[in-house]
Amino acid sequence: MTAPTTAAPAWAPYGDASTDWATLGADTMLAREPVMNPHDKWEYEDGLMLGGVLAVHRLTGDPRYLEYVRRNLDHFVRPDGSIHAYRYDELNLDHVNNGKVVLDLYDETGEERYRKAADLLFDQLRHQPRLEAGTFWHKKIYPYQTWLDGLYMGSVFYARYCATFGREDLFDDVALQFTSAYDLTLDPASGLCRHAYDESRSMPWADPRTGWSPHVWLRALGWFAMAMTDVLEHLPETLPQRATILGNLRSLLGAVRGVADARTGLWYQVPDQGGRPLNYLEASGSLMILAAVAKGLRLGYLDDDWAGHLDHAWGSATREFLSLTDRGWVNVNKVCQVAGLGGAAGRDGSYAYYMSEPIVANDHKGVGPFLLLAAEMRRRRTG
């Protein structure tokens, strides 16, 4: 008697690296989330997502994407330039991130409401408390602390505002935000930057000698890599610190590449401890790093030897992180919902802490970099 054979299961394909993920992803947002924030909150991850939709708009010229961005942002930015649900008094860098989309719409329309809203967010930065090194505090409720996330949230907008409205006198200070944050968080032994730094050494999570948080966190590295890549576009090439930022970007990404998963080219939630139990390939940070790499290659910031890693890792990302529903909508899976330090929950920055945060799908912190990366990869493919 011949033993029965078991055929391999025939799963329907979800797509691959050649799929037009940029259009699928943007169309998904229009259909699945016509209102970007049903909780009526001014939240940084929405600006990240809208920036991704705008990247697809610039690639395709499809006016539906621009209309989606404008309709959602105009819910918050009033005709007089005030911003619904924004709290200036919190002095929170996260609240500034959406300002980049405000500037996008100002560039598109020239409408004064966007200029006034940008002025309001810029004024917050002019009054943001600082560490002794000159680096912005992350939030008023997190005194004497810099988090890598904050460079993407506040300082890219800072650079772009200065470039747009002729504040060349502040470019040195913009650059200082990046160079000081790198210096304060860099672990020379690994070449990687820690999630955060506490100047006061008073936080329970802070090393009493260095002020560092205990671990490297993938999404913090992703925020920082994207921030450095973006800010280089807005700083004049004659600014001496620009070369320093470019060198820091190359060094950091080189160290990040050194801890990539050998099979996929992607990265773990705690990226320098890939073999440790419970660690997992995380979507948002991996997509952020790849988006920074793709843009860096396009603009000549990175050497061409990154190209093979990018193409391999993008193919892996489509298999590890992306799926399509029966309606043809894109799901971005394996996203760490949130991670921070201190606060009411007493987040201690331990390995166990980073493993304990929920893993979700379709959080805008994953959707945004997916759209940015998908637009870059389509550009690479079509020229």
Of the candidates 277, 247, 281, 276, which has an alpha carbon nearest to the alpha carbon of residue 262? 281
Residue 92 CA to residue 341 CA, distance in Å, equals: 15
Q: How far separated are the first and last CA of the chain, in Å rounded?
A: 58
CA dihedral of 134, 135, 140, 141, whole degrees rounded to 10: -130
User: Of these residues, 94, 149, 198, 230, which one is catalytic?
Assistant: 149
- Cα 247 to its chain centre, rounded Å, is 20
Residue 114 CA to residue 118 CA, distance in Å, equals: 6
CB 263 within 8 A of CB 319: no
Q: Quick one: tokens of 343?
A: 């606060």
DSSP secondary structure string for all residues of 8-41: PP-PPP---TTS-HHHHHHHHHHHH-SSS-TT--
Contacts of 244 (CB under 8 A, 6+ apart): 175, 179
DSSP secondary structure string for all residues of 150-185: HIIIIIHHHHHHHHHTT-GGGHHHHHHHHHHHHHHH
> Does the annotation count 149 as an active-site position?
yes
What CA–CA distances, in Å, run from 365 to 9, 52, 93, 375? 33, 11, 16, 16
Adjacent-strand bridge partners of 77? 83
Of the candidates 303, 304, 335, 333, which has an alpha carbon nearest to the alpha carbon of residue 320? 333
What CA–CA distances, in Å, run from 191 to 16, 29, 188, 202, 339? 33, 37, 5, 25, 22
User: DSSP class of residue 152?
Assistant: I
Q: Phi, psi at residue 17, to the nearest 5°?
A: -65, -20
Q: 3-class DSSP state for residue 148?
A: coil
Active-site positions read 149
